[in-house]
Amino acid sequence: MADSRYETVLLFGAPGAGKGTQGGILGQIPGFFHLSCGDVFRGLQMNSPEGREIYKYSSQGQLVPDDLTIRIWRKGMDAHTAKSDYSPEEDLLVLDGIPRNVEQAKIMENHINVLKLVHLVCPSEEAMMHRMKRRAIRENRADDANESVIRRRFEVYRAETYPVLDYYSSDLVAEVDAMGSPAEVLQQVLTVLVPVQNAHFAKLGEEEVA
C-alpha cells in the first residue's frame, strides 16, 4: 500500500536560529511548501473549538497537550490542501516549530515521512539573544525583547526540544551554520535540500511511468 504520509523536511534549531526566515524563503521556491506551527496557532480563532481548548490550558499556565497540538497542526494542513496551497502528491513539506519534543515526534510518525532534518546550529546563545532582541524591536514583539523570557525559551529548548535530534537517524540530520547572513545560510540549506528535492521529483516521475 502506498505511503500516504507527507514527504517532509524539518527545520530545527534553537530560538532565534532563523527557522522561520529560511522556511519562508524555501516556501517561495516551487516544489516546497512551508508551514510554521506557530503561524497555525496564531491564526486560530479564539472562539473556535480548538481556540477554546488552548485557552483552557494557557489561562492556567499549562502546556498544550501534544495530541491537541498535532490535531491543530493537522487541521491547518488539511485547510492548505483544500485551498490547493499545498499539493501532497508533488510538494515537499517544510516544517518548523514542530515536533517540539520526542513524544510529538513519535505521534507524527503517522503523518510525516522525514526525508531530511536541517539543524540550524547556533554555537552562541548570547548571539542568538541579541538577534532575537533586534527582531522583537523590528517586529514590535515586546515580550520577545524580554531577556528573562528569552532565557526561559532556551531552557525549554534544551530540556524538551533538543533531544528530538537523537530521535531521528543521524544520516537524516544535516548541520548548517546559522550565524551567517540569511543569504549565506540559505546557500548552505539549499546545498542540503536540492538533492533531496531532485530525488523526490525523480520518484514522482517513476510513479507516473508506472
Q: What grid cell was written down for 126? A: 548570547
| 105 pLDDT higher than 90 | yes
CATH of the domain at 148: 3.40.50.300
- Average pLDDT over all residues of the chain: 88
Residue 210 lies in a domain: no
- How far apart CA 25 and CA 33 sit, in angstroms, is 10
The domain total for the chain is 1
> Any residues with CB less than 8 A from the CB of 84 and at least 6 apart, and which?
none
Residue 59 lies in a domain: yes
pLDDT, one tens digit per residue, over 121-161 is 987 777 777 777 777 777 766 666 677 878 888 888 999 99
pLDDT, one tens digit per residue, over 73-89 is 998 999 999 999 999 99
Q: Is-contact 98 73, C-beta < 8 A?
A: yes
pLDDT, one tens digit per residue, over 10-19 is 999 998 899 9
Domain range for 92 is 6-204
Residue 52 lies in a domain: yes
Q: Which of 111, 19, 20, 24 is nearest to 74 (CA)?
A: 111
Place of cell 511548501: 33
pTM exceeds cut of 0.75: yes
Residue 209 lies in a domain: no
- How far apart CA 8 and CA 191 sit, in angstroms, is 17
